[in-house]
Every structure is written in structure tokens, then in C-alpha cells.
Amino acid sequence: MRVNASGPAFGAALAIAVVVVSLSLRNDGEDLLPPAAEQAAARVPHPDSPYAEVPDPDVLALDRIDSAGSVAHAAAPAVLPCRLDGRACTSDGRAVPNATVFLVARGNGGRQRAITGPDGRFEFRAAPGPHALVVPPLARLLGIEQEVELRPEVTRVEIALPRLATAQVEGRIVDTEGLPLSDTRAVLHTASAPRTADFVETDRGGWFRLADVPVGDLVLRTSEPIRAEVRGHELVAGQTKSLQFVIDIGCHSLAGQVVAEGGTPGVGAQVRLDRSFTAGNGIRCVSTRTLVTDQNGCFVFEHLGPGPGNLTVMASGCATEVVDIEPGTSPVVVVHRIAN
């Protein structure tokens, strides 16, 4: 039988067949196109159609169809931070490794930290604008603060750290009689540069030697055999200086007793002796010694230099007592119990 492909019956049959196939595809599996994509495809004319429009590149860039079939607006591209490549060196061009470098934003005060590598190099990434590079003092180098403007291109900076002016020291540690104190450990630094401390230990003659000490007023501290601090020497750049440090150790002693009201011994009381001694060359030594009283409330400080001092007594449950003393005396300190 021959079918008339141009008659109305054929058109109706073709329409029914298309609907049946479409329903079959929807029932047997997932939709061929997500709903939103299907709608978008329905809106776009075929490229060969005389009604096809030229795509808008801005719309194509901002509109996307995600996996769920919804149209999403793409986020604006993020502003990439600027990069700063830096190098820390000495004033004569030598690399400074293991130095801490801070980048401080001038606008909001934000701060980043980096550590220089073996070649003195460091790197930061931050928003454009004014910043400050800050390097704290390090060893024999002065700290520095340097302004820098970060721009979209790579910013390269070199930080030159000035060296501290130094001098050589031949030091000797002696007692108040001028006798050398061998095997004495001490810390020597300049008052204006406390981070540049040198640890020294005296030889049999009480001597120590340092080749690179920052100039200025010197401070020498000991913890054994007593806690002492010596001041009075000053260094000038480029010189080699022989210095004598007199420690408050001598041939004198101080014995005493701590008692409570009524004469009972102050057992286990803390006793501190603070002294200040000035040598003949004007060098001043301040020292501190501490003891605990025995079962009879007694204490003895030995190997003292000449001159007065202050005795501070602290006993449990009692008020702190402070008395002035002289070497060679035998003070009795009465402590008074604190009323409840």
C-alpha cells in the first residue's frame, strides 16, 4: 500500500510518533538535556537560521550552566598579590642568613614575617601599596626600617644592614685585693647593644680576650661564685684596650642571726645581702648573695670585699626586715610576725 507523505493524515501520525519517542526517552533514562539547558537551547536559533544572532562575548564569559542545569554568574577574577623579592646583606655586600624580616602594610598594619636563606634572600606576597621592611638588630649588625612601594610587577629590594663599630678587649677579672679569679664565667656586652653579648671564661691568670666588641659603655655580669655586675669601662671604635674588672670578692665576712620576737631562732629564713663596691680605678661592682638560716637561725657570708651593704630578711609569716650592715659585724635581726 502506498502512503501519501504529503497528506494531513501523515502529518498527524508523524507528530504522534515524535511524542511517543520523547516520552520513551524520558522514561527509560535521564533527560538528554537538563531543564535549564534545554530551555537555553530552545532560545538559541540554529546557526544556519537567518535569524541567528552574534553571541555576546561578555555574556558568554559571565554566564555558565552548571552540572545541575542552573545558570550561574561567574565570580570576578581575584586581584593577585604583588611579589617582593629581597636580599639582606651587610654594608660591604655580604649576605646575611637567618635574619628575621618583617613586611608591615602602612594602610592596615598587617604584618608578615620571613627568614633569609643562606644567600640572604627572602620573598613576600602582599597587596599593592606602601609598606615598610623591618629587620631587628642581629649579632654585630644594626637593625633597619626601609620603605617600599609594592606594584603589580615584581618589586626587588636590597637591605643593607650597617655594622656596629667595634674594638678589641683584653680583659682581666680580679677580686678586691687585685688577685686573679681563674675559671670565672661571665657575660660581656655594651649597654646600648644588649643583644650582642659575649660569653667569656677566664684563664689561670684571670684573662679573657675578645676581638669584636661593640663600642660604648661595657657591662660585665657573673653568676658564679657570686651574682655581680661591673660597670665603668667605655670602648672607643678601633682601639685595643686592656681592662680590669673588679668583683666584690675579698677577705671579709659577715655572720648574724635571725630571731623572732621572744628570742626564738628564725629557722629557714631567706637572707639576701646587697652590696655596692667601687674600686680605685672608678669601676663599680654591684653584687647580690643569698642564704638560708640554719636550725639556730644563723647565717654567714664569706669572701666579702670592703664597704657596707644592705641585709634583707624574709621569714614565713613575718614582715620583711631591711637593715644596713658593715663587714666584720655580727648583726642580730629581729623579725616581727604579721598579725592575722
- Each domain of the chain, given as residue ranges in start order, spans 82-161, 166-246, 252-335
- Which pLDDT belongs to residue 94? 93
Q: Which fold has domain 252-335?
A: Immunoglobulin-like (2.60.40)
Cα gap 258→337, rounded to integer Å? 13
Q: Which three cell numbers stand for residue 67?
A: 552540572
Q: Which of the 8 DSSP states describes residue 136?
A: -
- Which pLDDT belongs to residue 192? 78
- Which pLDDT belongs to residue 340? 67
CB 204 within 8 A of CB 148: no
Edge-to-edge strand order for the sheet containing 298-304? 298-304, 252-260, 332-335
Q: Which three cell numbers stand for residue 225?
A: 661564685
First to last CA, the chain: 126
Cα gap 37→195, rounded to integer Å? 70
Q: Where are the alpha helices (DSSP H) in 187-239?
A: none
- Which pLDDT belongs to residue 191? 85
- Which pLDDT belongs to residue 79? 53
> 13, 70, 63: which is closest to 38 by C-alpha?
70
> 77, 202, 175, 190: which is closest to 140 by C-alpha?
190
In the chain, which residues have pLDDT < 50? 1-6, 10-74, 76-77
Q: Answer positive or negative: Cα dihedral of 17, 23, 28, 31.
A: positive
CB 215 within 8 A of CB 239: no
Residue given cell 679569679 in the structure block: 181
- Which pLDDT belongs to residue 80? 56
Cα gap 124→116, rounded to integer Å? 11
CB 207 within 8 A of CB 252: no
**Pairing mode, if any, of strands 332-335 and 252-260?**
parallel
- Which pLDDT belongs to residue 202? 96
- Which pLDDT belongs to residue 109? 75
- Which pLDDT belongs to residue 307? 86
This prediction's pTM: 0.64
- Which pLDDT belongs to residue 261? 87
> In terms of CATH architecture, what is 82-161?
Sandwich (2.60)
Q: Which fold has domain 166-246?
A: Immunoglobulin-like (2.60.40)
- Which pLDDT belongs to residue 32? 39
